[in-house]
Amino acid sequence: MTSIIKKELNTFLSSLSGYMVILVFLILNGLFLWIFPGSFNLLDSGYAGLDGLFFIAPWVFLFLIPALTMRFFSDEIKIGTIELLLTRPITEFKLVLGKYIAGIILCLIALAPTLIYLFSIYALGQPKGNLDWGATIGSYIGLIFLAGVYVSIGLFASSLTESQILSFISALFICFFFFVGFEQIAALLSYTGMELSIEKLGVNYHYNAISRGVIDTRDLLYFISVIFLFISASTMSIKIRKW
């Protein structure tokens, strides 16, 4: 499994497109947080916090993570190397898990430079260090778990087709539905008594809960369950190809 992780990281980091994905993520967040005037601008808000980052980043990830994962299996299927991978002494689950871990590491690499924003806000606060650390740490944890869900969905979409474009579109649609789809359904069923239960099926509900700085095991269990669901679905998809 380690060789799978190294292979994916080397492939990503040795290509210009890999760095472009990370660069686009940082540029988009930087523009909204530091350049574009508005409520997200850290200098205009008058508040020492990274709320803007934690609102914008999930939407940017919504597009960038499907772009990152679309080639994980689709490329292997298209050029025929998936058969070679399946003949190796590694289970389908470990193959999927290896690619999943590589995807998470790439997301962490993309997130790491945003710590510069954190240090900047820490220094700019009045008094210095006037920062809600509980909400900030919780938001980072929530963002990592949210990225984990997106990566698992992207892997699943990539395992279904040899077309990277179709993989990207499918992953984008599923991620979007899990992020805001259940909220919209809950809004349509308001006053039925079912809206809260339906809203809890969505990623955004649990992401917002963790972002408040309260790490609830129910939220963690939700993220882990969704990730495991799509990793299992990807494993089954690969097994079907082996048959």
The secondary structure of 26-57 as a DSSP string is HHHHHIIIIIS-STT-HHHH-S-S-HHHHHHH
Q: Mean pLDDT, to the nearest integer, of 166-180?
A: 94
136, pLDDT greater than 80? yes
Give the mean model confidence (pLDDT) for residues 196-216.
87
The pLDDT-based confidence of 166 (bands split at 50, 70, 90) is very high
Question: Tokens 């700019």 label which residue?
Answer: 124
pLDDT at 8: 79
Question: What's the average model confidence in pLDDT over 141-163?
Answer: 93
pLDDT category of residue 231 using cuts at 50, 70 and 90: very high
Interval 22-80: pLDDT, tens: 888 888 888 877 777 767 676 666 665 677 788 888 998 999 999 888 888 888 888 87
Residue 11 CB neighbour total at 10 angstroms: 14
DSSP three-state, residue 233: helix
Residue 146's pLDDT is what? 94
Among 141, 149, 132, 150, smallest CA distance to 208 is for: 141
Q: What mean pLDDT is predicted for residues 169-191?
A: 89
E-assigned strands of 116-233? none
Each as own residue / partner, the long-range contacts of residues 205-208 (CB below 8 Å, 24 or more positions apart, any chain) are 206/142, 206/145, 207/58, 207/142, 207/143, 207/145, 207/146, 208/142
109 and 21 Cβ atoms separated by less than 8 Å? no
Residue type, 54: F
The top-scoring range by mean pLDDT among 12-21, 55-64, 81-90 is: 55-64
Average pLDDT estimate for 90-112: 90
Query: Which pLDDT score, from 0 to 100, does residue 182 have?
Result: 86
Per-residue pLDDT at 38: 67
For the chain, what is the mean pLDDT?
84
* Residue 71 vs residue 226, higher pLDDT: 226
The reported pLDDT for the residue numbered 158 is: 93
The answer, yes or no, to whether residue 155 has pLDDT greater than 90, is yes
